[in-house]
Homo-oligomer: A and B are copies of this chain.
Amino acid sequence: MSRIDGRTPEQLRQVTIERGWSKHAEGSVLVSFGDTKVFCTASVTEGVPRWRKGSGEGWVTAEYSMLPRATNTRGDRESVRGKIGGRTHEISRLIGRSLRAVIDYKALGENTIVLDCDVLQADGGTRTAAITGAYVALADAISWAQGKKLVRAGRQPLTGTVSAVSVGIVGGVPLLDLCYEEDVRAETDMNVVCTGDGRFVEVQGTAEAEPFAREELNSLLDLAVSGCDELAVLQRKALDTVLEK
Protein backbone atom coordinates (compact mmCIF):
# COMPACT_ATOMS: atom_id res chain seq x y z
CA MET A 1 0.00 0.00 0.00
CA SER A 2 1.49 3.33 -0.97
CA ARG A 3 0.88 6.76 0.60
CA ILE A 4 -0.82 9.88 -0.79
CA ASP A 5 2.48 11.07 -2.20
CA GLY A 6 3.71 7.63 -3.21
CA ARG A 7 6.07 7.03 -0.28
CA THR A 8 6.40 3.78 1.62
CA PRO A 9 5.31 3.88 5.29
CA GLU A 10 8.89 4.12 6.56
CA GLN A 11 10.05 6.74 4.08
CA LEU A 12 10.90 10.37 4.85
CA ARG A 13 9.82 13.12 2.47
CA GLN A 14 12.62 14.80 0.55
CA VAL A 15 14.62 16.68 3.15
CA THR A 16 16.91 19.59 2.29
CA ILE A 17 19.02 21.62 4.67
CA GLU A 18 20.43 24.85 3.17
CA ARG A 19 22.91 26.69 5.37
CA GLY A 20 23.91 30.35 5.19
CA TRP A 21 20.47 31.64 4.30
CA SER A 22 20.90 34.91 6.17
CA LYS A 23 23.74 37.37 5.93
CA HIS A 24 23.08 38.69 9.43
CA ALA A 25 22.52 35.64 11.66
CA GLU A 26 25.40 33.72 13.22
CA GLY A 27 23.79 30.51 12.00
CA SER A 28 20.94 30.13 9.53
CA VAL A 29 19.20 27.32 7.71
CA LEU A 30 16.30 26.87 5.35
CA VAL A 31 15.06 23.38 6.07
CA SER A 32 12.45 21.57 3.95
CA PHE A 33 10.61 18.35 4.74
CA GLY A 34 8.73 18.09 1.43
CA ASP A 35 6.55 21.19 1.15
CA THR A 36 7.14 22.19 4.75
CA LYS A 37 9.72 24.97 4.80
CA VAL A 38 11.10 26.51 7.96
CA PHE A 39 13.62 29.32 8.15
CA CYS A 40 15.83 28.86 11.23
CA THR A 41 18.25 31.47 12.51
CA ALA A 42 20.56 31.26 15.50
CA SER A 43 21.45 34.58 17.13
CA VAL A 44 24.33 34.78 19.58
CA THR A 45 24.55 37.50 22.19
CA GLU A 46 27.03 37.88 24.99
CA GLY A 47 25.49 37.71 28.42
CA VAL A 48 22.59 35.71 29.81
CA PRO A 49 19.12 36.50 31.22
CA ARG A 50 19.14 38.09 34.66
CA TRP A 51 18.27 34.91 36.59
CA ARG A 52 21.40 33.21 35.23
CA LYS A 53 23.94 36.00 35.66
CA GLY A 54 27.12 35.11 37.44
CA SER A 55 26.52 31.37 37.04
CA GLY A 56 29.17 30.99 34.38
CA GLU A 57 26.56 29.12 32.35
CA GLY A 58 24.98 29.96 29.01
CA TRP A 59 21.40 29.73 27.78
CA VAL A 60 19.64 28.52 24.65
CA THR A 61 16.03 29.34 23.86
CA ALA A 62 13.70 29.19 20.85
CA GLU A 63 10.79 31.02 19.30
CA TYR A 64 8.54 29.39 16.72
CA SER A 65 6.08 31.23 14.54
CA MET A 66 4.08 30.74 11.35
CA LEU A 67 3.81 33.38 8.67
CA PRO A 68 0.11 34.18 8.25
CA ARG A 69 -0.17 32.52 4.86
CA ALA A 70 2.07 29.55 5.59
CA THR A 71 -1.12 27.54 5.69
CA ASN A 72 -3.89 26.85 3.28
CA THR A 73 -6.13 29.56 4.66
CA ARG A 74 -4.64 32.73 6.07
CA GLY A 75 -4.37 32.95 9.86
CA ASP A 76 -4.30 36.15 11.89
CA ARG A 77 -0.90 37.35 13.03
CA GLU A 78 -0.29 36.84 16.72
CA SER A 79 1.23 40.33 16.87
CA VAL A 80 -2.05 41.76 15.62
CA ARG A 81 -4.13 39.69 18.04
CA GLY A 82 -1.80 40.96 20.77
CA LYS A 83 -1.10 37.54 22.19
CA ILE A 84 0.66 34.30 21.46
CA GLY A 85 -1.51 31.25 21.10
CA GLY A 86 -1.16 28.05 23.07
CA ARG A 87 0.09 26.02 20.12
CA THR A 88 2.89 28.51 19.40
CA HIS A 89 3.93 28.57 23.05
CA GLU A 90 3.94 24.80 23.22
CA ILE A 91 6.09 24.36 20.13
CA SER A 92 8.54 27.12 21.07
CA ARG A 93 9.07 25.43 24.41
CA LEU A 94 9.53 22.02 22.78
CA ILE A 95 12.19 23.34 20.39
CA GLY A 96 14.05 25.09 23.19
CA ARG A 97 14.07 22.01 25.44
CA SER A 98 15.15 19.76 22.57
CA LEU A 99 18.21 21.82 21.73
CA ARG A 100 19.16 22.46 25.33
CA ALA A 101 19.40 18.67 25.66
CA VAL A 102 22.66 18.71 23.71
CA ILE A 103 24.17 21.83 25.28
CA ASP A 104 26.85 21.91 27.94
CA TYR A 105 25.98 25.23 29.61
CA LYS A 106 29.34 25.53 31.31
CA ALA A 107 31.19 25.09 28.04
CA LEU A 108 28.94 27.66 26.37
CA GLY A 109 29.86 30.21 29.02
CA GLU A 110 27.67 33.25 29.71
CA ASN A 111 26.36 33.55 26.17
CA THR A 112 22.79 33.29 24.93
CA ILE A 113 21.68 31.72 21.68
CA VAL A 114 18.16 32.37 20.43
CA LEU A 115 16.78 30.07 17.75
CA ASP A 116 14.07 31.62 15.62
CA CYS A 117 12.07 29.12 13.60
CA ASP A 118 9.68 30.82 11.19
CA VAL A 119 7.49 28.60 9.07
CA LEU A 120 7.36 29.97 5.53
CA GLN A 121 5.20 27.13 4.24
CA ALA A 122 3.42 24.43 6.22
CA ASP A 123 2.58 20.90 5.15
CA GLY A 124 2.72 18.93 8.39
CA GLY A 125 5.68 18.31 10.66
CA THR A 126 6.68 21.95 11.09
CA ARG A 127 7.92 21.45 14.64
CA THR A 128 10.09 18.48 13.80
CA ALA A 129 11.52 20.22 10.74
CA ALA A 130 12.21 23.23 12.96
CA ILE A 131 14.15 21.17 15.50
CA THR A 132 16.12 19.39 12.80
CA GLY A 133 17.02 22.65 11.06
CA ALA A 134 17.63 24.62 14.23
CA TYR A 135 20.25 22.09 15.31
CA VAL A 136 22.29 22.90 12.20
CA ALA A 137 21.90 26.66 12.72
CA LEU A 138 22.93 26.19 16.33
CA ALA A 139 26.03 24.25 15.35
CA ASP A 140 27.03 27.05 12.97
CA ALA A 141 26.40 29.69 15.60
CA ILE A 142 28.60 27.84 18.08
CA SER A 143 31.40 27.56 15.52
CA TRP A 144 31.06 31.28 14.95
CA ALA A 145 31.26 31.97 18.68
CA GLN A 146 34.31 29.75 18.94
CA GLY A 147 35.91 31.65 16.06
CA LYS A 148 35.23 34.92 17.87
CA LYS A 149 36.64 33.45 21.11
CA LEU A 150 33.32 34.10 22.86
CA VAL A 151 33.42 30.46 23.83
CA ARG A 152 36.53 29.19 25.53
CA ALA A 153 38.65 26.67 23.68
CA GLY A 154 39.04 23.13 24.94
CA ARG A 155 35.48 22.23 25.73
CA GLN A 156 32.76 21.66 23.15
CA PRO A 157 29.39 23.26 24.06
CA LEU A 158 27.56 20.75 21.86
CA THR A 159 27.40 17.37 23.56
CA GLY A 160 25.69 15.62 20.68
CA THR A 161 23.33 16.08 17.79
CA VAL A 162 19.55 16.22 17.85
CA SER A 163 16.90 15.62 15.21
CA ALA A 164 13.14 15.11 15.22
CA VAL A 165 10.41 13.50 13.21
CA SER A 166 6.69 12.93 13.39
CA VAL A 167 5.11 9.50 13.20
CA GLY A 168 1.48 8.45 13.29
CA ILE A 169 -1.05 5.76 12.66
CA VAL A 170 -3.23 6.37 9.63
CA GLY A 171 -5.83 3.82 8.65
CA GLY A 172 -4.22 1.39 11.07
CA VAL A 173 -0.76 1.71 9.49
CA PRO A 174 2.20 3.33 11.29
CA LEU A 175 3.72 6.00 9.02
CA LEU A 176 6.90 8.08 9.20
CA ASP A 177 6.98 11.86 8.65
CA LEU A 178 3.32 12.70 8.06
CA CYS A 179 2.35 15.36 5.55
CA TYR A 180 -0.60 17.60 6.41
CA GLU A 181 -3.20 15.46 4.72
CA GLU A 182 -2.02 12.38 6.60
CA ASP A 183 -1.75 14.28 9.86
CA VAL A 184 -5.39 15.35 9.67
CA ARG A 185 -6.50 11.75 9.23
CA ALA A 186 -4.16 10.20 11.82
CA GLU A 187 -5.66 8.23 14.67
CA THR A 188 -2.51 8.73 16.68
CA ASP A 189 0.14 11.33 16.24
CA MET A 190 3.58 11.36 17.83
CA ASN A 191 6.56 13.68 17.73
CA VAL A 192 9.87 12.17 18.70
CA VAL A 193 13.16 13.93 19.30
CA CYS A 194 16.30 11.80 19.37
CA THR A 195 19.99 12.34 19.89
CA GLY A 196 22.41 11.06 17.32
CA ASP A 197 23.14 7.99 19.50
CA GLY A 198 19.49 6.94 19.32
CA ARG A 199 18.34 7.96 22.75
CA PHE A 200 15.19 10.01 23.42
CA VAL A 201 15.00 13.69 24.24
CA GLU A 202 11.24 14.06 23.87
CA VAL A 203 8.42 11.66 23.17
CA GLN A 204 4.99 13.26 22.71
CA GLY A 205 2.25 10.90 21.64
CA THR A 206 -1.39 11.93 21.38
CA ALA A 207 -4.45 9.87 20.63
CA GLU A 208 -6.40 11.90 18.12
CA ALA A 209 -9.30 9.56 17.51
CA GLU A 210 -8.76 6.38 19.52
CA PRO A 211 -6.52 5.58 22.52
CA PHE A 212 -3.50 3.62 21.37
CA ALA A 213 -2.14 0.32 22.60
CA ARG A 214 1.40 -0.44 23.83
CA GLU A 215 2.30 -2.34 20.64
CA GLU A 216 1.24 0.60 18.49
CA LEU A 217 3.37 2.89 20.61
CA ASN A 218 6.27 0.49 20.14
CA SER A 219 6.04 0.37 16.38
CA LEU A 220 5.77 4.16 16.21
CA LEU A 221 8.90 4.51 18.34
CA ASP A 222 10.76 2.08 16.03
CA LEU A 223 9.83 4.13 12.99
CA ALA A 224 10.76 7.39 14.66
CA VAL A 225 14.16 6.22 15.83
CA SER A 226 15.10 5.10 12.35
CA GLY A 227 13.77 8.36 10.84
CA CYS A 228 15.83 10.43 13.28
CA ASP A 229 18.87 8.39 12.37
CA GLU A 230 18.46 9.26 8.71
CA LEU A 231 17.99 12.93 9.56
CA ALA A 232 21.16 12.86 11.65
CA VAL A 233 23.06 11.70 8.59
CA LEU A 234 21.62 14.57 6.53
CA GLN A 235 22.52 17.06 9.26
CA ARG A 236 26.10 15.82 9.33
CA LYS A 237 26.32 16.02 5.54
CA ALA A 238 25.01 19.58 5.55
CA LEU A 239 27.51 20.60 8.22
CA ASP A 240 30.41 18.91 6.42
CA THR A 241 29.98 21.19 3.41
CA VAL A 242 32.22 24.23 3.44
CA LEU A 243 30.03 27.29 3.75
CA GLU A 244 31.13 30.32 1.79
CA LYS A 245 29.62 33.40 3.31
Contact = CB atoms under 8 A, between A and B. Distances in A.
Chain A interface SS verdict (over half): mixed
A74 B45 contact: yes
A79 B69 contact: no
B24 A69 contact: yes
B195 A200 contact: no
A202 interface: yes
A120 interface: yes
A25 B69 contact: yes
A101 interface: yes
Copies in the complex: 6
Nearest to A213: B199
Interface in A30-68: 35, 39, 41, 43, 45, 63, 65, 67-68
9 contacts: A22-B121, A43-B68, A65-B77, A69-B116, A85-B89, A90-B93, A195-B211, A200-B211, A202-B207
Shortest beta-carbon contacts, A-B, top 9:
A86-B89, A199-B211, A78-B79, A41-B69, A43-B74, A79-B79, A203-B205, A89-B89, A195-B211
Interface of A: 22-25, 28, 35, 39, 41, 43, 45, 63, 65, 67-74, 77-80, 82-90, 92-93, 97, 101, 114, 116, 118, 120-121, 123, 160, 190, 194-195, 197, 199-207, 211-214, 217, 221, 225
